[in-house]
């Protein structure tokens, strides 16, 4: 079994951690079925140095994982296990996540670069809350008796979809693991999971907790690898009945195409965004400034729902800019294990280069850098919090998702004008509205083409509240009761209570 060992020694946690990083199939850690399989270097984004070599999964490994998941679906899980029992296992898993919170947060900071404080204060507790929330749902998923006539008993059943493929991103490795597993396990589905090859550590550690919690072998299988191999094998597999993906819109299109060309499996996609955050003249200015900074710089800007387009009404524009720049310049960028650090490194050299290319593009198109716009430090993948002013709607930095600590700020005069500007995007994942006028808040929220609208707050996510996008931001919803629909098939059952009464004559 391949393992990764690391000694942590920081203010939040001190200790040695061992993580199994092989493929997790049918409850065991195994080598790839392909003898020619290679390894993938996993890099510490803080230093740019390699942490370890991750065993690479292949299409053959996906086949084995699907067979294990199918066997579990038909024997030890699904409708063979009462919802109450599934719920108990999910709640046990939530408790184990809370027990090992310091370890999980440290692993997130190590291979992702997010700060230990953010992971410990948000990602880990929200992951535990997600498992506990869906644990509560597991025995409450049921159909209805429908009063069709006195001669018939007609009812519906909610049955598990079956084997599900789940492909999660690198920006919230642990949280996305929980978002995907929670509703799938609650409804009785089994899973073949592909974590990002950039950030495999928390998924690998979670495999230990899944076993400790008592889930039967084969219910959750984890196959590491690249998207073009493992991801493609999952999305096109004839024995996977549903695929869930979180990531870029471009890859989402490929997954949807592959799913359609195979067995027409169910698809949910949580994709990119270019969140419009609207600040009206009557907003609580200090609160709006801090939420705006939270909206873009949280998780180093590597957030699909980031408020990366700021629209500020002309009456407060100058005051807002002054305060927003002051907050932006005070953000501490550095070691993710540092107690005062708010922004760590971007996740990889590729992501760093992509963001910096957008920064240079913004400069070339004539946008004005109000602060930042450069590398931070000499090692690692750090970027200064960057604010662009003097932008126009046709600029790439206004239209395209940057996925980094880069925000564009534009001035507006009227409500109608800003609604049109906010909706002028292929994306529709999230938006924000800051105003103390309740009528205006509801009016604008209703007019915005986005799956989530935050009013007088931003980037606040909860397990009970559905999350997903309009337009190119995706299909379906994560979280809340709505997510259960993604993993359920609805069956109608007709039971006649009387003898045949149709037109065919008796024998």
* Domain segments of the chain as ranges: 3-31+38-271+473-491, 276-455
**Cα distance between residue 4 and residue 422, in whole Å:** 45
Q: What percent of the chain has pLDDT over 90?
A: 97
Q: For the chain, how many helices (H) and strands (E)?
A: 16, 24
Local confidence band at 337 (pLDDT 50, 70, 90 cut-offs): very high
pLDDT tens-digit series, residues 226-284? 999 999 999 999 999 999 999 999 999 999 999 999 999 999 999 999 999 999 999 99
The verdict on domain 276-455 having CATH code 3.40.309.10 is yes
**Cα distance between residue 474 and residue 451, in whole Å:** 10
Where residue 200 falls (left for φ over 0; alpha for ψ -120 to 50; beta otherwise) is alpha
Kindly state the tokens that stand for 286. Answer: 């200090």
Q: Which 8-state DSSP code applies to residue 110?
A: H
Average pLDDT, the chain: 97
**pLDDT > 80? residue 368:** yes
Locate all alpha helices (DSSP H) within 188-225, ordered by sequence. 201-213
**Cα distance between residue 249 and residue 120, in whole Å:** 29
pTM: 0.96
Topology (CATH) of 3-31+38-271+473-491? Aldehyde Dehydrogenase; Chain A, domain 1 (3.40.605)
Cβ contact 265:234 at 8 Å: no
Catalytic residues: 270, 304
Please report, in angstroms and rounded to a whole number, the separation of the first and last CA atoms in the chain: 68
Local confidence band at 147 (pLDDT 50, 70, 90 cut-offs): very high
Instruction: Give the model's pLDDT for residue 331.
Output: 97
Cβ contact 423:402 at 8 Å: no
Locate all alpha helices (DSSP H) within 10-123, ordered by sequence. 59-75, 83-99, 101-112, 116-118
Instruction: Give the model's pLDDT for residue 502.
Output: 85
pLDDT tens-digit series, residues 72-115? 999 999 999 999 999 999 999 999 999 999 999 999 999 999 99
Mean pLDDT of 175-184: 98
**Cα distance between residue 33 and residue 13, in whole Å:** 37
């Amino acid at each position: 079994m391949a393992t990764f060992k690391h000694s942590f020694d920081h203010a939040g946690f001190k200790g040695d951690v061992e993580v199994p990083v092989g493929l997790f199939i049918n409850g065991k850690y195994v080598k790839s079925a392909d003898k020619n399989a290679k390894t993938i270097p996993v890099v510490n984004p803080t230093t740019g140095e390699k942490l370890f070599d991750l065993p690479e999964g292949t299409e053959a490994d996906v086949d084995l994982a699907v067979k294990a998941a199918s066997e579990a679906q038909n024997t030890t899980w699904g409708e063979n296990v009462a919802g109450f029992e599934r719920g108990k296992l999910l709640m046990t898993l939530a408790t184990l996540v809370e027990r090992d919170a310091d370890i999980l947060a440290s692993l997130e900071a190590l291979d992702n670069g997010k700060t230990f404080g953010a992971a410990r204060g948000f990602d880990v507790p929200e992951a535990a809350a997600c498992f506990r929330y869906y644990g509560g749902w597991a025995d409450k998923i049921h159909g209805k008796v429908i009063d069709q006539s006195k001669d018939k008993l007609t009812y519906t059943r909610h049955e598990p979809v079956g084997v599900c493929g789940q492909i999660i991103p690198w920006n919230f490795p642990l949280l996305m693991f929980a978002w995907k597993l929670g509703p799938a396990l609650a409804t009785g589905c089994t899973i073949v999971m592909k974590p990002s090859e950039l950030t495999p550590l928390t998924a690998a550690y979670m495999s230990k907790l899944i076993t400790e919690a008592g889930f039967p072998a084969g219910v959750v299988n984890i196959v590491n690898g690249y998207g073009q191999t493992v991801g493609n094998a999952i999305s096109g597999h004839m024995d996977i009945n549903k695929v869930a993906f979180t990531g870029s819109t471009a890859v989402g299109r490929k997954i949807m195409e592959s799913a359609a060309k195979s067995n027409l499996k169910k698809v949910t996609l949580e994709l990119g965004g270019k969140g419009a955050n609207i600040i009206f003249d009557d907003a609580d200015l200090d609160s709006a400034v801090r939420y705006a900074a939270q909206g873009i710089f949280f998780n180093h800007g590597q957030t699909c729902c980031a408020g990366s387009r700021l629209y500020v009404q002309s009456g407060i524009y100058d005051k807002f800019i002054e305060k927003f720049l002051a907050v932006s310049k005070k953000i501490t960028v550095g070691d993710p294990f540092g107690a005062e650090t708010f922004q760590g490194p971007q996740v990889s050299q590729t992501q760093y280069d992509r963001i910096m290319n957008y920064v240079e593009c913004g400069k070339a198109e004539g946008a004005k850098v109000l602060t930042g716009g450069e590398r931070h430090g000499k090692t690692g993948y750090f970027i200064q919090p960057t604010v662009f002013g003097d932008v126009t709607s046709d600029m790439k930095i206004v239209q395209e998702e940057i996925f980094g600590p880069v925000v564009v700020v534009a001035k507006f005069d009227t409500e109608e004008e800003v609604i049109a500007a906010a909706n002028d995007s292929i994306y529709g994942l999230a938006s924000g509205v800051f105003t103390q006028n309740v009528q205006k808040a509801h009016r604008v929220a209703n007019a915005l083409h986005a799956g989530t609208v935050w009013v007088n707050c931003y980037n606040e996510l909860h397990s009970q509240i559905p999350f997903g996008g309009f337009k190119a931001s995706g299909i379906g919803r994560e979280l809340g009761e709505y997510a259960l629909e993604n993993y359920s098939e609805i069956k109608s059952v007709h039971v006649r209570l009387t003898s045949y009464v149709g037109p065919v004559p008796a024998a």
